[in-house]
Structure 1
Amino acid sequence: MRGTEGHPVADILKKDILDYYKMFYGDTAMQGVAPHALECALSFLGVEHILFGTDMPFGEEDGLQYIRDNIATVEALSLDKAERQKIFEGNARQVLALR
């Protein structure tokens, strides 16, 4: 991968590029209701970097159907109660410093 003016990114970055990608946050709206896509995001980012999100007010019933579908998708994953709580609420509180 190359940076600006032909400089290799590896010479600019202090960490491996994957370490920077793992600093990103994903949300359940980004993954839609596709369990395999959310599992992939969880595998790469970790449960601490996934937030509950919706496309409200877009979609059926002004987005309410997406909310129900996203909740069902998260609940269907092989996560324990504490991990689901992080996705539904805890991670957002952490990111927004609401604790």
Structure 2
Amino acid sequence: MKRRPFDYFKDFYADTAVFGSRAATLCGLEFYGADKVLFASDSPFDPEKGVGYIRDTITVLNSIDLSMEDREKICYRNAEKLFGLSGK
């Protein structure tokens, strides 16, 4: 290995599927940065068949002081980039 194992983890992407945990979302953003986090919700695996986790994830993201640019990255721009989709 040319780098420390820790440094390879920085190459991964993470998501916001943490069951509505604000602390976990903050931890992921702190470690990976807004450029490597994607919106996710573990839908439909919540008691409400998906609606609850989506709502909770949006509530958590809205509670965090993010720039509009970082919010857009998390919500869709990072996915566009990762999957080679054209953003307009």
Asked if residue 15 in structure 1 is aligned to residue 24 in structure 2, the reply is no
Q: How many residues align?
A: 86
Mapping 1:1-99, distance limit 5 Å: 13-29=1-17, 31-99=18-86
- CA-based RMSD of the aligned residues comes to 1.1
Deviates more, 1:14-23 or 1:44-53: 14-23
**Structure of larger gyration radius:** 1
- 3-state SS, counterpart of residue 49 of structure 2: helix
Q: Tell me, which stretches of 5 or more residues in structure 2 are unaligned? A: none
TM-score for the superposition, normalised by structure 1 = 0.80
Identity within the alignment, %: 38
- 3-state SS, counterpart of residue 65 of structure 1: helix
TM-score for the superposition, normalised by structure 2 = 0.90
The separation in 2 between residues aligned to 1:17 and 1:58, in whole angstroms, is 32
Structure with greater contact order relative to length (CA < 8 Å, sep ≥ 6): 2
Give, as a single letter, the amino acid of the residue that structure 2 aligns with 1:58: F
Give the structure with the higher percent helix: 1
